[in-house]
A and B are shown apart, each in its own frame.
Chain A
Amino acid sequence: MALLKLTSPHAHTTQNTGNVMQLVLLATIPGALALTAFFGWGTLINVVIASIVAVGCEATIMHLRKRPVMFYLRDCSALVTAVLLGLALPPLAPWWLVLVGTSFAIVIAKHLYGGLGYNPFNPAMVGYVVLLISFPVQMTSWPAPMPLYPEGTDAPGLWQSLQMVLPFFNESVDAFTAATPLDTFKHNTGLLVEQLYQSDPLYSQADWAGVGWEWANLGFLAGGCFLLYRKVFTWHAPVSMLVALALCSALFYDGGSSVSHGSPVLHLLSGATMLGAFFIVTDPVTSATSNRGRMIYGALVGVLIFIIRSWGSYPDAMAFAVLLMNFAAPLIDNYTLPRTYGHKKPRKATEKATDTKD
């Protein structure tokens, strides 16, 4: 047997991209469970439909691009996109909404830009924004958390949920929809925060920031901590995003007046905050590359979220903030190179070869 000629290093970790993606999928479980517990089967149905569509699209595109289909499916990146989008969409959303969003995310946002690793924008967020702009009614119809259902009303079971989502059944979802905590704040005029918290069962029955939402967010926070522990990403982007968001909301809390934009706790534990912080902002492909860059990137996402939530026309802002910062990531990269060993200060990526080295 002839000896192989290979370059160093000869040792490798057993970890591969598929493993990393699987870890991310695993980490979404607590959040997904919390969502299911409070909002019913809709979330899981979303995830399943999105996953099937995503894998189908990925396989088709890979086939069209004449690449080994199974090799690329095994990296699970399409599945991650699908799961994140599925979790972000309103539970019990009609099937075609999920289909359109997912296929747009995979085909347009991912593969038209060159596939895994080459997409400048987070595919799940692109899919989400496309749906939000195209189908605002469906996208803002969130079911009420189960504990707040009127007396005597049962939460829809799996079968009933499927009937609401899939075609030919036409069960109405409207009966179950309710405003989200962020919606409530957005449309609050005249009530002090304290009054609002007392009058609205969404808050009065909650521990911190809205029934169901706070637990879903805590679930995603737990998943994120797990990923941090497994060193799938570094703390820089999520922590700076959360800190920036908390600081902004603290600054504009306004002592809980009727024009307040909500407390830091509300902002941290409602909407897509934690899902975004640990699963979207940390998407390595579309964020900045250095740790310093990721801190800046994360912080600006946090600031943008607060700005859009408070003064924009949408109650939540995760997708817009992330996409806007996706634009800025290459620019941030140019000016946030780390200081290399032996150098006095960091360099800029835009430096020309003729510039002084050091």
Chain B
Amino acid sequence: MRKIWSLTGGIHPAENKHQSVQSSIGSLPLPDRLTIPLNQHIGAPPKLLVAEGDRVLKGQVLAEPKGFVSAGIHAPTSGIITHISDHPIPHPSGMAARCITLEPDHKEQWIEHRGIDNYREKTPSELLDIIRQSGIVGLGGAGFPSAVKLGPKQPISTLIINATECEPYITADDMLMREHPQDIVDGIKILSFILGDPDEILIGIEDNKPEAFEALKPYLQDTNITLVEFPTRYPSGGEKQLIQILTGKEVPHGGIPADIGIVCQNIGTTYAIQRAIQHGEPLISRITTVTGKACATNRNYQVLIGTPISHLLQNNGFDQSQCPRLIMGGPMMGFTLEELSIPVIKTTNCILAPTAEELPTPPPTQPCIRCGMCAEACPASLLPQQLFWHAQSQNYEKLEAHNLFDCIECGACSYVCPSNIPLVQYYRAAKGEMRKLAQEKINSDRARERFEFNQARKAKEEAEKAAKREARKRAAELARAKKADQEASPGGADTETNSADDIIKAAMARAAAKKASPEEQRAKLERGIVRAESHVNAAQQRLDGLEQDATDKQWEQARAALEDARLRLQNAEQKLAALGAPTDDKLKDATVDTAKSVMDKIQASPREALEKKVSTLKERIAVTEEKLVSADDKTLKTALQNGLKKQQAKLKDAEQQLAETPATADQPNSTPKTEDAASAAIARAQAKAAAQESMSEEEKLKASVESLQNRLKKAQAKLTAAEAEGSEHIDAFRTGVEKLQAKLTAAETQLAEKTQ
């Protein structure tokens, strides 16, 4: 006899298994329709391959696995796909999900399929692929895709076949072992081959199934498979508990059995894998126990996946008036069903229809007296009553310290609780809340990190900018000092203008930044449009990708997302249109306006001079006229009249000149030239604006630097000329040159920054 270890804690509720083992595994007539949920496993939902109205053959793939942890589904019989829609599925919440409704044509026409005669000729990965394509998932409970579980990265030394079936009432595995021992042993050998023939293969079975034990025993001779019987005690069938019982090892906290070189498979899954490998049959049916006193017959059936519960119950003389609650699974971990149209899925091992006497509704909860019976029953060595107190007070830190997440929700604590406290429900609620909080914490941490990083980046940029500014300032000072040394000119008053210079520079930089802002805005909008377009594309793709396997809600969401993205795109385009075209005009206008105002300024003095001239002329004429009136001398009169005529002519000229000077030129005396220069400047400005439009920012900057350099040269030439002449405007010229220099340096640094 092999040594067995004892289960920590545990309970021994009434087994109630005898009712359903009285007759062999039966089969049921085909139901009117089969409702096959798309997602019957843990992992990603499969990709739908059929459409409404399609005719499918028995065993045909309805949906193929999508993603690593996923499983496909197959047509349980031949018929027509009538609907692909949301339907209530077996779930504790009673939720609905996407299901394929298949109307059988009663022909039971199989799709072409073939088994593998000698699987040892194949590679384990080829076999794993067959298992994956056959839609096989753990039939014991959770429905984890078997191909994933059978392909661990860690080396495996022990394969454990779980034939425990520790939940009361359920006998599906028991009957399977009694009726298909040969197939099961073949299946185990296949698993062994896939796992690289582990040293030890153990079948764990509780001692309340002697018939199954005897049935398997003869087939295990001359094999390295050991059948291990141990005392019946719930929950010895839990994966972690079974490993503890058979090997004395514990799966480390947060780990999986493969971490300690163990793979555990349910015996039903083993059988399904044997069918898939040796017969080519995908998982389209399973053995389900129908039991409970509200059913006249209690029996196991080979049930097609998708068979409505109502069909099972009706064929077993179900009396709903006797059945206050209907349970899928066992009385310890099963969940209640609220509708009879819910289908049997791959993990449905039992339909339990108890009467009120059989499983009475729990009496009102009494206060916890901390009796500790729960702690004695807990297979994970937790302190359930402490968890309960902390769950009640939502003390999540304490719950974490008390290892709430090691709770397997077996229900042993609730079972023994003399105060009828629904302990497991408290744990589930607390776990849900804690998971939510953990997610929120991750999110907020991420946001905080992002924010901090952003702040650090900004600070760094700011520091770099400040350093650059400092360097520039020093360079400018150096240059000025050099220049002052070189020239040693009388206008050495420059030194005082340093700070003023800085102010001007800063102001100009600000102005430049401001000027850039409409462009930036435009660029921003353009980027926005690109983004919006990509949003629309993504939403469209998602919508296309959804196909028919998604729920109605997902459809709606996808459509809403697309609509939203479109709207945003439209919005952005409109904004750009509103800003875009006028922006160009505005930009041009602005440039032209500046040019005009500059002209005005330049022209201001000549115009004023002209006006002055006109007014003085008028005054002179008035004086002359007076003189003429008061003059008696004839010669004087003629002289005066001649003078007056000349003055009038001059006035006329001046007035004409004044009238003709709406725009101005550099030289106040030559009106036409002024006009030409003004219009030329406007034209240049317009051309520049137009050119700028088509130029990138860098090019624009380069152009402005060039023009500034030209202007600076001209201004310097003028300055030297003025200095040579000793003109009185020499100061004006000098400030002009300085201003230009400042502009040029500003533009150059801007350019340097850009090109960096």
Contact = CB atoms under 8 A, between A and B. Distances in A.
Q: Do A and B bind each other?
A: yes
Contacts of A351: 400-401
B253 A11 contact: no
B347 interface: no
B397 to A, nearest CB: 5
Given A341-B8, A342-B250, A3 B401 contact: no
A311 interface: no
A341 B406 contact: yes
B383 A347 contact: no
Interface in B404-419: 406, 409, 411-412, 414-419
Contacts of A201: none
Contact of A1 (B14, B324, B416, B418): B324
A285 interface: yes
A247 to B, nearest CB: 25
A289 B8 contact: no
Q: For A2, A6, A115, which residue has the most chain B Cβ atoms within 10 angstroms?
A: A6
A341 B367 contact: no
11 contacts: A7-B428, A8-B414, A9-B333, A10-B354, A15-B416, A284-B372, A285-B370, A342-B240, A353-B396, A357-B254, A358-B253
A353 B400 CA distance: 6
B375 interface: yes
Interface in B693-752: none
Contact of A16 (B251, B372, B420): B420
Q: Which 9 pairs of residues, A with B, have the shortest CB-CB distance? A: A9-B411, A117-B367, A342-B253, A11-B331, A4-B325, A341-B380, A340-B403, A10-B331, A351-B401
A20 B380 contact: no
Interface string B650-685: 000000000000000000000000000000000000
A350 interface: yes
Interface stretch (A40-48, A82-90, A248-256, A331-339): A331-339
Contact of A11 (B324, B400, B415): B415
Contacts of A20: 369, 371, 418
A3 B338 contact: yes
Contacts of A9: 331-333, 411-412, 414-415, 424
A233 interface: yes
A6 B406 contact: no
Interface of B: 8, 13-14, 92, 94, 168, 240, 244, 250-255, 320-321, 323-327, 329, 331-339, 352, 354, 359-364, 366-373, 375-376, 379-383, 385-386, 396-398, 400-403, 406, 409, 411-412, 414-420, 422, 424-425, 428
B369 A285 contact: yes
B380 A289 contact: no
Nearest to A342: B253
Nearest to B400: A353
B415 A77 contact: no
A10 B325 contact: yes
Contact of A342 (B251, B383, B416): B251
Contacts, number: 185
Given A4-B336, A10-B359, A16 B418 contact: yes
Interface string A1-35: 11111111111110111011000000000000000
A265 to B, nearest CB: 31
Contacts of B420: 12, 16
A291 B325 CA distance: 37
A6 B361 contact: yes
A329 to B, nearest CB: 10
A358 B255 CA distance: 11
Interface size for chain A: under 10, 10 to 19, 20 to 34, or 35 or more residues?
35 or more
A183 interface: no
A1 B320 contact: yes
B324 A3 contact: yes
A339 B380 CA distance: 9
Interface string A225-248: 000000111100000000000000
Q: For B253, B383, B414, which residue has the most chain A Cβ atoms within 10 angstroms?
A: B383
Contact of A289 (B386, B398, B418): B386
A159 interface: no
Contacts of B419: 16-17
Contacts of B336: 3-7, 10
Contacts of A284: 369-372
Contacts of A4: 324-325, 336, 361
Contacts of A117: 367-370
B332 A11 contact: yes
A342 B256 CA distance: 10
Nearest to B423: A9
A5 B94 contact: yes
A171 B385 CA distance: 50
B367 A118 contact: yes
B321 A1 contact: yes
A349 B363 contact: no
A210 to B, nearest CB: 33
Contact of B253 (A12, A232, A291, A340): A340
A75 B369 CA distance: 11
Interface in A74-121: 75, 77, 115-118
A63 interface: no
A140 interface: no
A169 interface: no
A343 B337 contact: no
A7 B369 contact: no
Interface string A314-328: 000000000000000
A347 B402 CA distance: 7
Contacts of B425: 7
Contacts of B400: 351, 353
